[in-house]
Structure 1
């Protein structure tokens, strides 16, 4: 037991060092890309046996495929492979996820005073969706547990409550700059226009909340279903953090991407917010976070790193076999975007995380100018719909592990929602295509 504890703590320290190395790299003083990837992968190796079986199998398959493609590219097609850099795929996204996790050290989210009086019915469901959605834009998956555990104090969670938790979080992928989905997208297509994404994605997210409320009111008796009452001051932290990110992005550090800003800003704010309590208190909280919370991120980190290796392997093999000029679509317009959305979303139904479809698609496209924004919107909409309905998505696996609900039951209950959201997404994709053309 002692050996396992030491292993996990060591992995947590390596993850923290990976984050620090990434932040140092932003200064331009030296290149730390290799160091970041090696540290994070070393942590995954140490934590491999702790990763849930399904996630471990999925990550192992991605790693094997990515490595196999690199070997074929090198020894069959004679391609030049940068072996030291083969592990760098998505390492910056994983570092961003680590940075975002430090938000839990700011204040006391979800504790006393964060919520108002008891609410039930359709209004309660809507408030649950709103609470998870807006807190989740910053706090990500931890918000589901925060809200879900509070609701569970009054009894086992009901299907409407579980669906509100699921859809409230997954729909945040449509616009939140703090979500892993946005990190992956900006990393794959750095010239994306975030403002054009948000102006369409945010209204779509609000439609998701309205659709959820209307559908659940029609399907279930909500008179005794408790909701999460979100007090206005609970939104101060998410809104404040978003404002800070925009300040750095447009004024203070315009050369850095939003992913980079989030990676260093959230941990910095977390440390500064704890310093008034004294250096010892601050160090104690950081140490606890490093040795407990960071190792618990093993599933997320391993999946993103493995998908990054697959992307590098596939793009290298495609270039070696077909030439650098080959691309899946000559033009990435509305029809191609719609087809891509359908393919990624259907693959999520089959159990693949949307990051796999998004990464594979990006590796075989040659996107020009506004096409990057169209691709980004396709990725975000398919991520939002795919994670809500996919039985093996992170949100559904988390609900299964925490509250005992079957991932396939969640899929069944979300099929109608996913169908309607898919139709809305296809219409929005056409709109974005026109907007950027």
Structure 2
């Protein structure tokens, strides 16, 4: 108990004792005690009334000054009010800074409430998305941004995804949007202008395609002439055969790089996915393995295939052949002679998978995130000697993206590597079902 409360209780006790003594002397004990209680209550109510007026913000009212208890309460409330005002000033300043920061953001930001209704938007959202903070607040964002790709993305509710669509205010403006959880039952829509990035990418693709086309013809001519010279039986060419062989190897390597670059350009430039057809992956793998055995030659790798013969996939056979062949041929190139290479094609609850496992030297962890970059090489000298172009895994990544899949890489130094292609269940096709459908179609 605080000192002020002890003083108040002491005063009340003394007052009632004095009243009791006075009442006993005049033979009015009960009346004296009652009057003392009423006076004390009236005084406390008066102090409470003054405190209420003061707390309600009445400028003419003053805080209770009589009595230490009320002084303590008033002082405590005063401290709380000062702290509250200080917090309000800080919050107001912080809110003002947040408003200024969001207003200065080059990206559009929109807060979506329940049913994806617009709660708030910044200035960039007004310019890029055509939203109005007065007219559109409370309206479903799907009614304001009606691009089919955005509406489908909005209903997916997967925060890690992005969607690209044309801005409603300008078709030439390309936006990349994502949605992240925000607060309670709210989401934050963020949209970025990527028009310049896409234009630069298109310029780069056009440049690579043009250069590759220009290089392919002279490289083909050079390779043809070199092959003709090497096929000659004239003794005059015996001295030149070793350098001619090296020239032929380098010209073929350059031609392979050009062809891979052109394939990458086609994969990157394709805006719409071509119609998928049933692909007999087990037969495709058998063809690739035959080529891998020929590539292995004297190294005599132990190449094995474990494939579900009934498991087919809907996709582009040409693209899948390129992706799978790159993985298998890479395993042959970077696995020491006589070591094991295992290829598996199977399905489980997680989807459809192709794994290529080797017993090579392994890959250091810091290299793995960059393996799908163009021309990225762990050991440049060895990569050139092995005949690789440095574009194989980049092609694999783009092919898998076209099929809604992804590439996973795990490796351990001194043990080997595992490259896994993951495909969604939606692409799965059974050979028996395809055969039955073909028979039915032929009868019709």
Structure-2-length-normalised TM-score = 0.26
Bigger Rg over Cα: 2
In terms of fraction of residues, the more helix-rich structure is 1
Relative contact order: is structure 1 or structure 2 higher (C-alpha 8 Å, sep ≥ 6)? 1
Provide TM-score, normalisation by structure 1: 0.26
Kindly indicate which of the two structures has a greater share of residues assigned to strand.
Answer: 2
